Amino acid sequence: MLREVAVEDAVGLVLAHDLTQILPGEFKGRLFKKGHVVQAEDIPALLSIGKEHIYTLELAEGYLHEDEAAARMAAAVAGTGVTLTEAHEGKVSLKAAAHGLALVDRNFVDAVNSLEQVVLSTVRTNTVAEPGRSLAGTRVIPLVVAEERIAEVERLAAEYRAAHGGEAPFRVKPFRKLQVGVVTTGGEVYKGRIADKFGPAVRAKVEALGSVVVEQRFAPDESEFIVGEIRRFLEAGVDLVLVTGGMSVDPDDRTPGAIRLSGAEVVSYGTPMLPGSMLMMAYHGDTPIMGLPGCVMHDPYTSFDALLPLVCAGERVTRRDIVELGYGGLLGK
Ligand SMILES: Nc1nc2c(c(=O)[nH]1)N[C@H]1C(S)=C(S)[C@@H](COP(=O)(O)OP(=O)(O)OC[C@H]3O[C@@H](n4cnc5c(N)ncnc54)[C@H](O)[C@@H]3O)O[C@H]1N2
Ligand code: MOO
């Protein structure tokens, strides 16, 4: 168990937890590590950070130190594509091992946090994970916790894995390198009245996730023409077809009709996200095809930017994924 000891009497005893020093503007970090055996020369430093008494460690049977509890929780929830840090000041961080899509089961996270004294804090599911970026953290609130509490978290995680073919409730799915074909519609661009701005914008968004635009082709506002270009890319075996412009309500907006006419199975025309409400998500077999409205060209984050990471990670976008964009999806106009 923990024993409170006056600093002057602590020489030779084992520190129960990391001790943090904060010097505003200069330093914040660990002054002494958990497990450190207090030396006579440590006493002035301990007093300087305001410690006249410290906890020394004598763990009772059936109790865990905060570091071990955090480490066990992290190991229980972490799946593929995730690395764990060592416990530091009672916290373990879960980091992305590769550039990919963080997949987090919200119900599982809620179930863990409904237990008392434990913390599982994560990014939202479908967040883009950069390698080395911290995506989740585990800790417990008291310095020592009943082992039974952590065993409960481990049970929830084991049940989750059993119900999901072995997949963990928290994992990172690496991005694939997709070969992307772009069909840019619009008579004004096709006829050279204005310069194309969609191509560079879409290329940058695709490349940021590690995929590549293999070709961009141009089409006037004619359904059959657009269908022909879509089919050409499908026959060439691209992994993703993007059709830009012509997505709203004008008579010249042919793209949604052309995507349907090409034989695609439409998941959704329209997304509850602003900007990006006029986006179409569809599939030809396993090949995704997306109709991109004008805003994708000029807005940094739209429904396209929310869905492209799923596509690049090889997740099949469902109607449910589209529905869930609405809550928190008002970003612009
Ligand atoms: N009455 C309504 N008006 C609009 C609606 C609506 O629901 N009802 N939706 C709005 C939304 S949301 C969007 S987004 C825009 C644009 O949708 P479109 O995909 O149809 O975009 P276009 O009409 O094709 O083009 C808009 C604008 O951008 C220029 N453009 C298009 N492609 C290119 C390109 N490759 N390079 C440079 N510039 C391009 C085009 O010339 C137009 O000026 O509709 C809202 N309106
Ligand atoms: O498709 Mo619009 O995107 O909402 O600006």
pLDDT digits (tens, 9 = 90+) for 220-262: 999 999 999 999 999 999 999 999 999 999 998 999 999 999 9
Question: Which of 3.40.50.300, 1.20.1250.20, 3.40.980.10, 3.30.310.10 would CATH assign to domain 179-323?
Answer: 3.40.980.10
Band of pLDDT at residue 120, cut at 50, 70 and 90: very high
Domain ranges of the chain: 2-57, 63-174, 179-323
Q: Ligand 1 pocket: which of 202, 229, 248 to mutate (most atoms <8 Å of CB)?
A: 248
Q: Ligand 1 pocket: which of 278, 298, 304 to mutate (most atoms <8 Å of CB)?
A: 278
pLDDT digits (tens, 9 = 90+) for 75-85: 999 999 999 99
Distance 116 CA to ligand 2 centre (A): 43
Query: Which protein residues touch ligand 2 with a CB less than 6 Å away?
Result: 274-278, 293, 295, 302
Question: Would the ipTM clear 0.95, i.e. be above it?
Answer: yes
* Phi, psi (rounded to 5 degrees) for 162: -65, -35
Q: Ligand 2 pocket: which of 244, 268, 279 to mutate (most atoms <8 Å of CB)?
A: 279
Bridge partners of 8? none
Secondary structure (3-state) at 176: coil
pLDDT of 1 strictly over 70 = no
Pairing type for strands 127-129 and 144-146 reads unpaired
Question: Which of 3.40.1350, 3.90.1150, 3.40.50, 3.30.70 would CATH assign to domain 63-174?
Answer: 3.90.1150
Q: What CATH class is the domain 2-57?
A: alpha beta
Band of pLDDT at residue 16, cut at 50, 70 and 90: confident
- 88 class by beta-carbon count within 10 Å (0-12 exposed, 13-18 middle, 19+ buried): middle
Q: In 174-194, which positions are buried (b, 16+ CB within 10 angstroms) versus exposed (e)? A: bbeebbbbbbbbbeebbeeee
pLDDT value for 333: 58
**Within 91-249, where are the H helices?**
106-113, 147-163, 187-190, 198-208, 223-236
Give me the mean pLDDT over the 175-191 stretch: 98
194 C-beta closer than 6 A to ligand 1: yes
Instruction: Measure the CA–CA gap between 197 and 317, rounded to whole angstroms.
Output: 27
Under 8 Å between Cβ of 134 and 276: no
Q: Is 324 left (phi over 0), alpha (psi -120 to 50) or beta?
A: alpha
The residues, any chain, with a CB within 8 Å of residue 135's CB and separated by 6 or more, are: 82, 94, 95, 96, 102, 104, 122, 123, 127, 129, 170, 172
pLDDT value for 19: 86
Distance 272 CA to ligand 2 centre (A): 10
Fold matches, 2-57 and 179-323: no
The ligand 1 atom at the shortest distance from the C-alpha of residue 291 is: 19
Task: Give the helix, strand, coil percentages of the chain, each rounded to 5.
Answer: 30, 30, 40
